[in-house]
Amino acid sequence: MLDLQHASHRRLNALTGEWVLVSPHRTSRPWQGQTEAKSDAVVPSYDPGCYLCPGNVRANGERNPAYENVFAFDNDYAALLPDAPQTEINEDGLIVARGEAGRCRVVCFSPRHDLTLSSMPVDDIAKVAALWRDEFMRLDADPLVGAVQIFENRGAMMGASNPHPHCQIWATDSEPNELVKESHRQRDYFAHRQSCLLCDYLALELGRGERIVCENDGFVALVPFWATWPFETMLLPRHHLGALDEFTESDMRALADILSQITRCYDNLFATPFPYSMGFHQRPSDGGAHPHWHFHGHFYPPLLRSATIRKFMVGFELLGSPQRDITPESAAERLRAAR
């Protein structure tokens, strides 16, 4: 019998088909690597120099309205442009490039500069979720859009250039790599078993309970069996939903509540505004039927053992495959205790 809590082993990521190396015996090794400095700076509720605060001028010279709830606009420095040339370079299949058109949007969660999802009331997070749904539906209807990625980078160490609570939405012509892998695995599972991969996986996890962090009537937050990041979590709706356009008001409220719960777990565990990259994966926007696709959210936090020790992808992970020391089961136990 393989001892998952003590013996080194590999775990298969059922969503991507990739393997993760788990080395639980390494958690006892001393840390002499880089640590991150903690900031005790007080964040004001309004920052006159912030380009996301209400009424302030953005980098392109436009002035934000005096918004009171949520606010969305086209990114002033968009990574994707709708008029990108649709041309291709292909030299013997060795040098290949294709034009990629798209749109980039910014969503401000609140006019308050000093808030985070973990400190916002659930009612206010529900307004953010409603705007996500509206933005998705509008972009999903655009014939030039093939996929819509909603994501939030929180914290300077995750590349967030502004602490104001906000996220980004990138609508791409093609389907991004991670969605391609997940779509392929979900489609194959559905074809062979006539059931949904993530519906079946959630039922298994609910039966075991050891990797569940928090839940409500509509959603479950868990540490996936194949997690790569030390305190990675996944959010799963209890019933089958392919994308935000299928969400009822009850679903939106449940999503807001589970986001509130899991982000507070993170902050409580490390007693700090917890850094992470978070995003939702949903069906492609190609107009086709995707009964195999199950909407879900990913949280990828970089902190390893404390608020000052960060996990980097280096060495074997860059050259071989991802590796983790803290098992998903122990991570889930620590997150549950932080509720």
In terms of C-beta density within 10 A (0-12 exposed, 13-18 middle, 19 or more buried), how is residue 51 classed? middle
Selected catalytic residue, list 9, 25, 164, 166 = 166
- 32 pLDDT more than 60: no
pLDDT band at 31 (very low <50, low <70, confident <90, very high): very low
Q: Is 166 a catalytic residue?
A: yes
% of the chain at pLDDT higher than 90: 76
DSSP type of residue 175: P
State both tokens at 318.
């860059």
8 A C-beta contact, residue 278 and residue 151: yes
| Cβ burial 6-40 (10 Å sphere, 16+ → b, else e) | eeeeebebbbbeeebbbebeeeeeeeeeeebeeee
Higher per-residue confidence, 328 vs 23? 328
| pLDDT of amino acid 8 | 87
8 A C-beta contact, residue 183 and residue 285: no
pTM value is 0.93
Higher per-residue confidence, 250 vs 309? 250
- Residue ranges of E strands in the chain: 9-12, 19-22, 71-74, 88-91, 95-98, 102-108, 147-154, 166-172, 212-215, 219-222, 233-237, 276-281, 296-300, 303-306, 309-310, 323-324
- Domain count of the chain? 1
- 222 pLDDT more than 90: yes
Is residue 17 one of the residues assigned to a domain? no
| pLDDT of amino acid 273 | 79
8 A C-beta contact, residue 168 and residue 72: no
Q: Which long-range contacts (CB under 8 A, 24 or more apart) does 22-28 make?
A: 22/323, 22/324, 22/325, 22/327, 23/323, 23/324, 23/325, 24/325, 24/326, 24/327, 24/330, 26/325, 27/325, 27/326
Question: Average model confidence (pLDDT) for the chain?
Answer: 92
Which of 131, 110, 132 has the alpha carbon at shortest distance from 121?
110
DSSP type of residue 246: G
8 A C-beta contact, residue 256 and residue 320: no
Lowest mean pLDDT: which of 12-16, 37-41, 180-184, 228-232?
A: 37-41
pLDDT in tens, 145-173: 999 999 999 988 888 889 999 999 999 99
pLDDT in tens, 82-122: 988 888 989 999 988 989 999 999 999 999 999 999 999 99
pLDDT band at 37 (very low <50, low <70, confident <90, very high): low
- 244 pLDDT more than 50: yes
Rounded Cα gap, residues 133 and 130, in angstroms: 5
pLDDT in tens, 52-86: 999 999 988 999 999 999 999 999 989 999 988 88
**Full DSSP string of 29-78:** S---S-BPPPP-PPPPS--TT-TTSTT-B-TTSPBPP--SS-EEEE-TT-
- 29 pLDDT more than 70: no
Higher per-residue confidence, 161 vs 301? 301
- 34 pLDDT more than 70: no
Rounded Cα gap, residues 12 and 319, in angstroms: 18
Is residue 296 one of the residues assigned to a domain? yes
Q: Range of 81's domain?
A: 44-337
Is residue 18 one of the residues assigned to a domain? no
8 A C-beta contact, residue 329 and residue 210: yes
Higher per-residue confidence, 74 vs 34? 74
Is residue 176 one of the residues assigned to a domain? yes
Is residue 11 one of the residues assigned to a domain? no
| Cβ burial 79-95 (10 Å sphere, 16+ → b, else e) | eeeeeeeeeeeeeeeee
Is residue 249 one of the residues assigned to a domain? yes
Q: Average pLDDT for residues 207-227, to the nearest whole number? A: 98
Judged by DSSP in three states, 147 sits in strand
Higher per-residue confidence, 291 vs 308? 291
State both tokens at 80.
């994707």
Rounded Cα gap, residues 208 and 167, in angstroms: 33
Residue whose tokens read 């209807």: 141
What CATH number corresponds to the domain at position 166? 3.30.428.10
State both tokens at 154.
């929180």
pLDDT band at 30 (very low <50, low <70, confident <90, very high): low
Is residue 322 one of the residues assigned to a domain? yes
Higher per-residue confidence, 309 vs 105? 105
Is residue 5 one of the residues assigned to a domain? no
- 123 pLDDT more than 70: yes
pLDDT in tens, 172-191: 999 999 999 999 999 999 99
pLDDT band at 33 (very low <50, low <70, confident <90, very high): low
Give Rg (Cα) of the chain: 20
pLDDT in tens, 229-241: 999 999 999 999 9
